[in-house]
Amino acid sequence: MENSKTLTGKIAIVTGGSRGIGRAIALRLAREGVRVVIAARDKAALTAAADQIAKTGGIVETFAVDLREPEAPGALVRAALQAFGAVDIVVNNAGATRRGEFLELSDADWSDGFALKFFGAVRLVRAAWPYLKERRGAVLNIIGTGGRTPGPLFTIGGSVNGACLSFTKAMADIGVRDGVQVNAINPGYIRTDRLRAWLQAAAAQHGGDAEAAAREMVTRANIVRLGEPEDIANLAAFVLAPQNRFLQGALIDLDGGMTKTV
C-alpha cells in the first residue's frame, strides 16, 4: 500500500464524498497527494468533509450538486477542470436505493434508484472520459455485493448494482482501447451512517444494544467482521495506484466473506 505514493499530483473527482465511504476515499487519496473534488448534495456535510481533509494537509474543492439531474455530471467535470486543470480519476460512489417489499415499491422508487447511482455514474464517466483518455486516467465504481446476490428486500438496489457491474465491464473494454483503467469495488456491510441506523433500528426492535445487533449481523452473514469506510479507502488507493494498472475490469468483493457464490 505504501507504493501508492505514486498517486501524488493526480486529480480526482469523488462523488458521495461528504460522508461514509466517499469521504474516507477522498481523505485517503488526499493523504497520497491527490487533489480531490468531492461532490454531494449536502453543502454543510461537504464543508465538514473538506475541513477534515484540509486539516491533514490535503488539497480539496467541494461541489454541491444533485447528480440525478442530467446536466449535473457535466457541470461537476467542468468544476474540476476549472479548479485543477485536469481529471485523472473518477470515483463513482454516490447513490442509495430504497429497500422494501417488491409490491410496495413504486415506479418512482425504481426511477430514483437508477437516476443517481447508475445514470449519475454513466453521465459522469461520459463527461470525464475525454480528459481521462488524455491523461491515461482511471475510473473506480463503488457498487455493492447486492449486485451479485440481491435479496427480496433489495430488488431495486440489486438491479441497480447489477447494471453498474455490467457497465464497469463494458467500460473496461473501452478503457483497454483508450488507455483508461476501469474497476469496481463491492463493499459488504460497512459502518456508514446508513448501517448504523439499521443497527439502531434492529436494537430497538429486539430490546438490545447496537453492538449486540452488529454481532448478530456478523454471525447471520457468516463474515469476519463489519467493515469500516477506511477498509474500502485502503483498497481504492491500491487499485488506483499507477503501478497496479494490470487490474482492469476487476469486480472486487470487499465484504468479509459475505459473497458465497463463485
Residue-wise pLDDT for 121-176, tens only, equals 999 999 999 999 999 999 999 999 999 998 999 999 999 999 999 999 999 999 99
Q: In the predicted model, is pLDDT for residue 2 greater than 50?
A: no
Q: In the predicted model, is pLDDT for residue 207 greater than 90?
A: no
Burial tier of 186 (Cβ tally within 10 Å: 0-12, 13-18, 19+): buried
**Mean pLDDT for all residues in the chain:** 95
Q: In the predicted model, is pLDDT for residue 4 greater than 70?
A: no
What pLDDT score does 5 carry? Answer: 53
CA separation for the pair 23, 193 (Å, rounded):
12
Structural domain boundaries in the chain? 2-190+229-254, 191-226
Provide the whole-model pTM: 0.95
Q: In the predicted model, is pLDDT for residue 58 greater than 60?
A: yes
Phi, psi (deg, nearest 5) at residue 12: -125, 145
Specify the CATH number for 2-190+229-254; select among 3.40.250.10, 3.30.70.100, 3.40.50.720, 3.20.20.70: 3.40.50.720
When pLDDT is cut at 50, 70 and 90, the band that residue 1 belongs to is: very low
What pLDDT score does 138 carry? Answer: 98
Q: In the predicted model, is pLDDT for residue 51 greater than 80?
A: yes
CA separation for the pair 80, 39 (Å, rounded):
10
Mean pLDDT of 14-19: 98
How many CB atoms are closer than 10 A to CB 6? 14
CA separation for the pair 8, 153 (Å, rounded):
42
